[in-house]
Amino acid sequence: MAFDFKKEYKEFYMPKNKPEIVTVPKANYIAVRGKGDPNEVDGAYQRAINVLYAVAYTLKMSYKTDHTIEGFFEYVVPPLEGFWWQSGADSVDYSDKSSFNWISVIRLPDFITKDDFNWAVETASKKKKLDCSSAEFLTIDEGLCVQIMHHGSYDDEPATIALMDAYLEQNGYENDMTGGRLHHEIYLSDPRKTAAEKQKTVIRHPIKKIP
């Protein structure tokens, strides 16, 4: 049976419906950076996702090619994730999606090296006739975070985030969204196939203990 990150690392992909504190280990990702409204038809965000999946599935199916990845085992491509921020803002203003900055990512198994990644970008570009040069091999070390499972529309996230903020205040923590530590979402539902009220999204925020 193929390795499934969601099942093997439930503590990071399947949190409860109430806030919880976790320490997220360092991991490698396929990443594409951009700016703008993610709902724009054929916009930068949609194109970024096409690139991410092209590279991700090229790596997943590499065992059927002449490229050998040391330590490879079959796995399920992990869910799409996104890091979001708006310049000059400590929180996310969902009414102004055009000002979003984002880094869209898909997690990589630990056995995939930078050389393997470079091979996949080149191969996907040729086979898919898609420019995948915007993809980068990115290592992220999230560290101490609070997370929760959000049910429903992305636009309804502020109410869920308020629960997270209240939990932090009650337990002596505060948000630490500075520098590279960002609002993080993991998408467990395909919005093209799932009604908004039934969507599941992991929301994760970097935090620190209040001195």
pLDDT confidence bin for 130, thresholds 50/70/90: very high
Position 181 confidence tier, pLDDT thresholds 50, 70, 90 = very high
On average, the pLDDT of the chain sits at 95
- Higher pLDDT, residue 173 or 92: 173
Q: How far is CA 206 from CA 67, 132, 144, in A?
A: 37, 30, 6
pLDDT digits (tens, 9 = 90+) for 8-46: 999 999 999 999 999 999 999 999 999 999 999 999 999
Over residues 54-72, the pLDDT tens digits come to 999 999 999 999 999 999 9
Cα separation of 181 and 177, whole Å? 5
Give the number of residues written for the chain. Answer: 211
Contact predicate 80/104, CB 8 Å: yes
